Amino acid sequence: GCVLVVSVIEQLAQWHNSTVKAAMERLCNYIPGKYQIIRHMLCCIDRKMNADVVCHSLKLCKQDPGQPLCHLYAPPEVSWFSTFSKTTDCGRSFKLELNSKSFTGFSSICAFPLLANLCEKIKYVLRNKLPFEDFDGDKFSTFPTLRGYHWRGRDCNDKNTTVYPGRRPDNWDVKSDSNCNGIWGVDPKDGIPYEEKFCKGADSQGVVLLGDSAGAHFHIPPEWMTVTQMSAKSFANLPMAFTDELDWPQFSEITGFLNSTIGGWTDSLYLRLRRRNRCNHRDLQNISQNGFLARNQLLDNPAIVIYATIGNDVCNGNRDTLAHMTTPKEMVSNVVQALRYLDSHLPNGSHVILTGLVDGRFLWDNLHDRYHPLGQLNRDVTYSQIYSFLDCLQVSPCSGWLTPNETLRNLTSERALQLSNVLKEIARSEKFANFDIFYMDFPLRQTAEEWHKMGGEPWQLIEPVDGFHPSQIAAALGTRITWQKALQEWPQVLGKENPFNDQIEAIFKDQGGH
């Protein structure tokens, strides 16, 4: 974090031909709220030390005994020790100032009055993976972030636990909208409830993602660290991004429902199911990075569940990464246990699609020698350097693939293929009472081919800041490929087209928002 902030300040000064102080003020004016802790870095940056030296001097970065000294930029021409010694006074004054304010460093950022309340909310969400604002406790919310309706369909009555997206209509919703799809009341021409007329026998169903950070659509806007593009507008979405844990499920491949504001376009399984049957409105759940399924086996509609943990079973930040990967035997046990849980919670007539793991060699092959957003101004930071820096800090999202070690990359992909074959066999052999089960490979190759036909480059399918997650373009193209496969091979999964869609839109057009 420190290296990132110092790098941006130094580059802002360079790009605008200003002093470091002016650059820091510029950054503070861009960011909502004044994060005054940045100001304490000023004395060290003025000495024209690179970001690694500044942050080690301030003791915000450290070298543990027996561990390598982690750095993003090239080492100084003189020794690290002599460089640090020149900045001792700066580090000492920074430490004294922090102590005088009862801070202990960046780790205590939640002690800032501006951030304390927000931090408590985020801690609650991270701990429980449930909406922070959910007054009736039905796991659905009227608030967008903090695991609210960006993640699950928007509640239409947060004071009634029996009203939520995805349930079967209560008495055909004659008097009120019990399932939040915007369809309720009685047709005055014939006295038939609109829900009964338009949705009875329509194969209404929701979509649920059980996934990881890729399914949640993790994204850090590149303009946050690309000084040539940076302005106050760049950070307008910062509060929303943080309260969604830097995830953007509202634009994601499975549950996206809003037009993308982070590049590319939004196309999702949910939107296609909604266009196929307008009665499916708001019936979505993105349960990524753990969470709780909200489905009542007796009261709710069936659901299509996408089980897509595409990398976590082989990805970790450990030095001995292979030893920490899921084994095929563990994979069988874990997945079957999850499927049994689903069988006890999903309404009858549901469907489960197991998605294979990705072949992450695509990442290194297409990014390692390209410049990261932090390195584009001076052409001094490649993705290879970013990967090595994160690996040194033991926070790499995937040590097995984000490495110059080709043998290790191949071994990681070999394990990923073994685990995909486990999923394929489970789909072939296991039977469950309340859902049928299917398997599909992660469509990376087809996505790259499709994007190439459109004139795109492979690296554009990867998130530019973390160099690891699928980009917005990859998510939208992946939806198209998945939908085509389902139409060809499992049309029963998607349900039939609702012939009343146009009538529903005409009558309830003002109640179709998300």
- In degrees and rounded to multiples of 5, residue 84 shows phi and psi of -60, -40
Residues 346-399 pLDDT 10s: 999 999 999 999 999 999 999 999 999 999 999 999 999 999 999 999 999 999
| Number of C-beta neighbours around residue 454 at 10 A | 8
Asked if the structure places residue 180 within a domain, the reply is no
In the set 213, 252, 399, 471, the catalytic residue is 213
Residues 156-192 pLDDT 10s: 999 999 999 999 999 999 999 999 999 999 999 999 9
Cα–Cα dist 213/123, whole Å: 18
Residues 219-266 pLDDT 10s: 999 999 999 999 989 999 998 999 999 999 999 999 999 999 999 999
Asked if the structure places residue 122 within a domain, the reply is no
What are the tokens at 339? 């499927």
End-to-end CA distance of the chain: 35
Asked if the structure places residue 142 within a domain, the reply is no
Asked if the structure places residue 380 within a domain, the reply is yes
Asked if the structure places residue 261 within a domain, the reply is yes
Query: Of 95, 111, 127, which marks where a domain is finished?
Result: 111
Number of domains within the chain? 2
Asked if the structure places residue 459 within a domain, the reply is yes
Is 431 found in the same domain as 283?
yes
Cα–Cα dist 440/436, whole Å: 14
Collapse the DSSP code of 307 into the 3-class scheme (helix H, G, I; strand E, B; otherwise coil) and give the result: strand
What are the tokens at 48? 């024209």
What's the mean pLDDT in 469-476? Answer: 98
Quick one: which of 359, 252, 347 has its CA closest to 311? 359
- pTM, full prediction: 0.92
Q: Which strands, in side-by-side order, build the sheet including 350-355?
A: 284-288, 206-211, 303-308, 350-355, 435-440
Residue 414's Cβ-count burial label (10 Å; 0-12, 13-18, 19+) is exposed
What are the tokens at 350? 């549901």
Is 472 found in the same domain as 349?
yes
Average pLDDT of the chain is 90
Is 247 found in the same domain as 100?
no
Residue type present at position 214: A
For 281-297, the DSSP string reads TT-EEEEESS------T
Active site includes 204?
no
Residue type present at position 264: G
Could you tell me the residue range of the domain that residue 82 belongs to?
1-111
Burial letters 473-500, b for 16+ CB under 10 A, else e: bbbbbbbbbbbebbeeeeeebbbeebeb
What are the tokens at 198? 């338009």
Q: Report the percentage of the chain scoring pLDDT > 90.
A: 76
Asked if the structure places residue 356 within a domain, the reply is yes
Is 391 found in the same domain as 245?
yes
* Model confidence band, residue 125 (pLDDT cutoffs 50, 70, 90): confident
Query: Of 48, 82, 111, which marks where a domain is finished?
Result: 111
Quick one: which of 103, 317, 24, 341 has its CA closest to 208? 341
Task: For residue 208, list its beta bridge partners.
Answer: 285, 305
- Measured at the alpha carbon of residue 52, what is the angle toward residues 47 and 55, in degrees to the nearest 5? 75
Is 83 found in the same domain as 213?
no
Asked if the structure places residue 243 within a domain, the reply is yes
Is 84 found in the same domain as 225?
no
Contact status, residue 286 vs residue 209, Cβ threshold 8 Å = yes
Query: Which of the 8 DSSP states describes residue 308?
Result: E
* Model confidence band, residue 97 (pLDDT cutoffs 50, 70, 90): very low
Query: Of 111, 142, 172, which marks where a domain is finished?
Result: 111
